[in-house]
Chain A
């Protein structure tokens, strides 16, 4: 099982150690938090110095985000990273990557690989019909038309979250490989950021980046686990890894020492 480290900030590179072979770096949830070119160069240098491989993680994006990503992809192209991977979380990014013809493996991120992650499903697990429970433990990955779509787009890896209801997916006989993100599973995300509340309703415009300084735990007796509110995203934390991951064909664990905001 390959273990990789996922960080979103340069200062969190301190979590790197020899256990890891690959560094995931980037942002899935907010295009405003994409790295600058300087930061990207530092990470490229760090990866080279540590004889590691780089996976650049990208968010869902507006046209502004596409523009920013184009600059970063061009930088990666110039720097000639071997074994470069790009995680996409927006199909617009897939179109951009094809246009730029960047030499990389494209990975389908966890915003595009669908799972239900709400913790409250655990409250009714014994009350659901069996096929419904099985549905909630699985993603859409093994649907033949989806596998065909992935193949046509040269996507050979998909990313899943370590959800509370367990993982029903089995990649053993599939044409794609599976990664599992751990311990933070994202639940929901917004562009109306709750850390940017300045009036009765949150706004999309302007941002003070308070998410980089503050985070919150949301607790309620109806939620089986606390919700971790980091910026525009809500996560759950599940530190229990399934013990049959390798049997199910997962070959990579993506460790997040902090919630990736």
Chain B
């Protein structure tokens, strides 16, 4: 089972390889894309500038460094969709990425899959494509995808069935193993994740003070990056402390549950599915993916190390309870805190 880890800087590659990463993925938002569309309209799912590379020069350096360790690099081009006006820039940037040496593209948009079908580059289907059933595997196979990242909202039994079907079709199954919290189905969520409200957001206020043009377009400077990071927890529309009103018959239990759910700090914890690996051991999962392109290199390293050592424990062929107990100890050891029930997904 391979570990696919995020990376945004060639200087981090050695550290992440040493921690146990087998493969890397990254995204890129160029200045041209930013000028036209801003990070709000990112060409990949991450609607923040700080988790993305900024130039093809950076991408080439990253690819060269990764290849020097024989580690492939996959590029995410998985925005929810692209409009006709974006296609010239998009295809130009895809060609430049291929020239930079990326080994595969992670694609979501059905149009883009069609466009790239005959390109000489491996295609992976993003989790955003919602491959929830066996029929969909057959559907996406027609586009020549070599790997499918299964959506996160699947039960273990559903994953087992889909993984078997994928392997039968010579498509590699991939799963998210560590990720940021997301209540909603990523591929069906149409909220904007790039910023918070302009009236109440320090970022926007500061940006407004700085320039009439609003630095949404120019947010790759350090101050703005820091501001974005400071407010990252408030960026998500899934974590708003809503006032809840019952539309019909009052049900205080449900109302309180929902209120607590939206405002609970525990929900900010990153999510982990490592314990589930014991149940998926015989399912021929090709790779497990770690989310967190925006995380620091040291956090990325810890995540990779945790997953790598968990896989090593799994390979010792021990019983499920023992595996869970050992991985929980490992979690405490690596992250210097106990794992919580809120961490599970």
Interface residues in chain A, defined as those with a beta carbon under 8 Å from any beta carbon in chain B: 60-63, 65-66, 90-96, 111, 114-118, 120-121, 123-124, 127-129, 131-132, 134-136, 138-140, 142-146, 148-149, 186-192, 194-195, 197, 199-202, 204-205, 210, 213-223, 227-229, 234
Say whether B85 contacts A61, CB under 8 Å. Answer: no
Q: Which residue on B lies nearest to A94, using beta carbons?
A: B139
Interface residues in chain B, defined as those with a beta carbon under 8 Å from any beta carbon in chain A: 35-38, 40-41, 80-87, 109-112, 114-115, 130, 132-136, 138-140, 153-155, 158, 161, 183-185, 188-192, 195-200, 204, 208, 214, 216-217, 237, 240-249, 251, 254-255, 257-258, 261-262, 266, 341-342, 344-345
A143 to B91, CA, bound (A): 13
Residues of B within 8 A of A92 (CB): 132-136, 139
- Our pick among A140, A202, A221 for the contact of B200 (Cβ within 8 Å) is A221
A62 to B134, CA, bound (A): 8
Using known A-B contacts A135-B41, A214-B254, determine if residue A187 contacts B110 with beta carbons closer than 8 Å.
no
Say whether A90 contacts B216, CB under 8 Å. Answer: no
- Our pick among B83, B109, B114, B341 for the contact of A148 (Cβ within 8 Å) is B114
Residues of B within 8 A of A234 (CB): 184
Q: Distance (Å) between the CB of A10 and the closest chain B CB? A: 19
Say whether B155 contacts A132, CB under 8 Å. Answer: no
Q: Which residue on A lies nearest to B182, using beta carbons?
A: A190
A197 to B253, CA, bound (A): 10
A20 to B191, CA, bound (A): 32
Residues of B within 8 A of A217 (CB): 244-247
Say whether A143 contacts B41, CB under 8 Å. Answer: no
Residues of B within 8 A of A134 (CB): 83, 85
Residues of B within 8 A of A63 (CB): 133-134, 158, 161
A61 to B188, CA, bound (A): 13
Say whether B81 contacts A140, CB under 8 Å. Answer: yes
25 A–B contacts, CB within 8 A, in A order: A60-B185, A63-B161, A95-B138, A114-B80, A116-B190, A120-B196, A121-B40, A135-B41, A135-B83, A135-B85, A136-B41, A143-B83, A187-B189, A188-B184, A188-B190, A189-B188, A189-B189, A191-B185, A200-B266, A210-B254, A213-B251, A215-B247, A215-B248, A219-B243, A222-B240
Residues of A within 8 A of B240 (CB): 218, 220, 222-223
Given contacts A187-B191, A216-B258, A228-B247, 4 further A-B contacts (CB under 8 A): A91-B139, A111-B188, A135-B85, A216-B245
Say whether B184 contacts A190, CB under 8 Å. Answer: yes
Say whether A132 contacts B38, CB under 8 Å. Answer: yes
Residues of B within 8 A of A61 (CB): 132-133
Residues of B within 8 A of A131 (CB): 36-37, 85
Residues of A within 8 A of B243 (CB): 218-220
Residues of A within 8 A of B35 (CB): 129
Say whether B258 contacts A194, CB under 8 Å. Answer: yes
Residues of B within 8 A of A197 (CB): 254, 257-258, 261
Say whether A139 contacts B81, CB under 8 Å. Answer: yes
Residues of A within 8 A of B158 (CB): 62-63
Q: Which residue on B lies nearest to A136, using beta carbons?
A: B41
Q: Which residue on B lies nearest to A163, using beta carbons?
A: B190
Residues of B within 8 A of A90 (CB): 130, 132-133, 136
